[in-house]
Amino acid sequence: MTLGDYPDPAPARQAHTASAPLLKVDRLIAGYGDSVVLHGIALDVLEGEIVSLLGRNGAGKTTTLRSIMGLTSPRAGQVRFRGVEIGGRPPYAIARLGIGYVPDDRRIFPNLTVEENLLLAARMSTGRGRWTLDRVYDLFPALRPLRASRGDHLSGGEQKMLAIGRALMKDPDLVLLDEPAEGLAPLVVRHLIEVLREIRGTRITLLIADQNLNFCRWVADRAYVMEKGMIRASGTMEALWKDEQVIARYLAV
């Protein structure tokens, strides 16, 4: 994917080292059945940041997000949200604390309309009152004329927008986004980049799992690079972009 002459990426911001992280994962071990996939993950996300979790297919990005969300039970280690241990809690309880999750398969309701999908999500809102139908439509103008269309009549890009819109309607403080740019046309990706920057301006914190360094470069402040269930590198997006060794070893396909 090329983004052509898209404007310069957001400058990396200084970490507020004084404040406690919004999300803190430490020595997290998780897997499926007998197989261990995550071998001790540690990462921090500070309030207001956009952090990317990069790595090739199979590195463990999705499993990391699922473990934070409680969809895969951690076997050991800590997951702290606002300093409170949430590891082992059920997904609905974690969602209610203000963590949203947009899975890579989007998980919208195909037989419901766009608006019904959004309103259903609003029923699970944390009640902070920041997001309304109108605000979601303002963010994704393409969804407004489709409000009465069924989910399964939407294009892949429209479904991704709806899935993000659904997460916002729950009014979270932190959103975990899995492969948001995957399979989207370059023009749609550009719009998504703008939307993610706008969402950041609304005091929502984002943790984005994506294989695409070029995409993350335009949206994220910092990055963690995963391989084989471990964090192999971390730093500002700017620094990672210039780190040919790390890119060649863990990201180039």
Ligand X SMILES: Nc1ncnc2c1ncn2[C@@H]1O[C@H](COP(=O)(O)OP(=O)(O)O)[C@@H](O)[C@H]1O
Q: How far is the CB of 51 from ligand X (least distance, A)?
A: 15
Q: How far is the CB of 183 from ligand X (least distance, A)?
A: 14
Whole-angstrom distance, CA of residue 2 vs CA of residue 20 = 37
Q: How far is the CB of 249 from Mg ion (least distance, A)?
A: 19
Query: Token pair 């241990």 is at which residue?
Result: 85
List Cα–Cα distances, 9 to 58, 140, 142, 189, 194, in angstroms: 27, 21, 24, 14, 11
Based on CB atoms, which residue is closest to Mg ion, 53 or 122? 53
Candidates 19, 20, 27, 32; binder of ligand X (CB under 6 A) is: 32
- Partner touching 37 among ligand X, Mg ion, none, CB below 5 to 8 Å by kind: ligand X
Binding residues among 48-77 for Mg ion as defined by CB under 5 A: 61-62
Based on CB atoms, which residue is closest to ligand X, 32 or 186? 32
Based on CB atoms, which residue is closest to ligand X, 37 or 225? 37
Question: Judged by CB under 6 A, does residue 105 bind ligand X?
Answer: no
Number of DSSP helices (H) and strands (E) in the chain, helices first:
9, 10
Query: Token pair 């399979």 is at which residue?
Result: 183
Provide the 8-state DSSP code for 150.
B
In 70-208, where does DSSP find H-type helix?
91-96, 114-122, 133-139, 156-169, 186-200
**CA 236 to chain centroid:** 17
In 5-85, where does DSSP find H-type helix?
61-69
Based on CB atoms, which residue is closest to ligand X, 114 or 207? 207
- Partner touching 245 among Mg ion, ligand X, none, CB below 5 to 8 Å by kind: none
Q: Per-residue string for binding with Mg ion, 9-48, x by CB under 5 A?
A: ----------------------------------------
Q: Per-residue string for binding with ligand X, 47-86, x by CB under 6 A?
A: --------x-xxxxxxx-----------------------
Q: How far is the CB of 63 from Mg ion (least distance, A)?
A: 8
**Residue 236 in contact with residue 221, Cβ under 8 Å?**
yes
Question: Judged by CB under 6 A, does residue 43 bind ligand X?
Answer: no
**Tokens coding 180:** 């948001």
List Cα–Cα distances, 208 to 81, 133, 226, 234, in angstroms: 17, 24, 13, 14
**CA 68 to chain centroid:** 11
- Partner touching 200 among Mg ion, ligand X, none, CB below 5 to 8 Å by kind: none
Based on CB atoms, which residue is closest to ligand X, 101 or 140? 101
By CB under 6 A, name the binding residues for ligand X. 32, 35, 37, 55, 57-63
By CB under 5 A, name the binding residues for Mg ion. 61-62
